[in-house]
A and B are shown apart, each in its own frame.
Chain A
Amino acid sequence: MRIEHVSFLLPDFIRGSLGRDDTARVETHLRVCTVCRSELEELSNAFGSIADHSTGDVPKGYFPSILPRIRERLDRRRSTPWIQHPLVSRIVLPLGAAIIVAALVWQIPVYRPSAGNQYQLSAVVDSATPEEMAEIMQANVSNHDLNSFNNAIMSGVLADERFVNSELVREALASEPTSPFNVYADVSSQQFLDDLHESDVDDVLQKLGTMGAL
């Protein structure tokens, strides 16, 4: 006969958050099962050491500083209404992201720490949609000011005819009165990144996952 262990009930049993029926069931089972008894001991120790170790500290005066910075962040977003423009979210941002990735892949491969990754990265770039590229870049440039990428973008891949002649770029250039790249270049990465769609991150991760990259 197969014994039904109560392992998964033990954490709540230890912390006293189990209902009366389940508590009785666990107690009865523990009397006859050495496996679950040693599990109980191990988990009790685990909870003990979790309780002994508090989460890290918060810098002094931190909490009063949050509200003003949230206000700043909101103001910053409001002051760049162009980011709401459908053209921007549909074409310029994803395209810009794709260009940055391309710049990274094709212009400065020497800095890459591992050649294996580079191959995978190129494959990702080749197979991803502009939206996915945007997500990848959103994940990647968020710590950097976008301006630091400008030179690479402007002097490097923009000259690549694959991009200059692409339908997307032509459409973007034709319908935006000033060059979208100028607008794009003015914005710090954080602002531009904040506004992109989030759900695609999963897809990118999945894609990287199926490629065995993660």
Chain B
Amino acid sequence: MSDRSDEELVRLFQHGSESAFNELVLRYQEKIYWVARRFSKSHDNADDITQEVFCKMYESLKDFRGDSSLYTWLYRIAVNVSLNFLRRQKVREFLRIDEMFEIESPEGESPDVVFEKNEQQSLIEQAVATLPEKQKTVFVMRYYEEMSYEEIAAILKTSVGGLKANYFHATRKIGEYIRRAHRTR
């Protein structure tokens, strides 16, 4: 990988260089993957979200004017795509379409396999998944990304007030979840 700056690569891409895009993907794929993974609790979901984030980057990078750093911009996309993914999942779970088409679905969806999948999920992932959207978002940004409350507020387009409370409640709930899980094992 070259040591060209983000700005340079963006400019090259805007002038038609596809390899500049590739380089940006390689530069940020791990970071974005982990953002997605923390939101979406499974590797498969995170993989899908990661691809989607970079496709969105491809489609809108021509409009990127450098008002923020590229990573901040990309991070914002990642959060939005993740949250959208979770919302869709919620609707999907409500309608339970997957169950409806049980007959057609591959064997991979049998209860045993689903159970194993859950076992593979780390306890943290399970715990984070139980949080309400706002608490989840704030926790991921503050704990894992160590972002300031101002940055979090900017990305979520909310005010700073309340974010500390969200962080507090999220931490407590995760702690409780893990403690309960240990007791029952």
Contacts and interface: CB of A to CB of B under 8 A. Distances in A.
Nearest to B84: A198
Chain A, interface residues (CB within 8 Å), range:
35 or more
A213 B94 CA distance: 8
Nearest to B89: A139
Contacts, number: 149
B5 interface: no
B183 to A, nearest CB: 12
Contacts of A23: none
A47 to B, nearest CB: 7
B67 to A, nearest CB: 22
Contact of B175 (A9, A49, A111, A142): A49
A194 B51 CA distance: 12
Interface residues of B, number: 57
A27 interface: no
Interface stretch (B8-16, B68-76, B150-158, B160-168): B160-168
Nearest to B95: A140
A66 interface: yes
A129 interface: no
Interface in A112-165: 112-114, 117, 121, 135-136, 138-144, 148
A53 B123 contact: yes
Chain A at the B interface: mostly helix, strand, loop or mixed? helix
Contact of B124 (A55, A77, A198, A213): A55
Interface string B44-62: 0001001110110010000
Given A63-B33, A77-B55, A45 B175 contact: yes
A113 B101 CA distance: 11
7 contacts: A42-B172, A49-B175, A111-B101, A111-B102, A194-B55, A198-B80, A201-B87
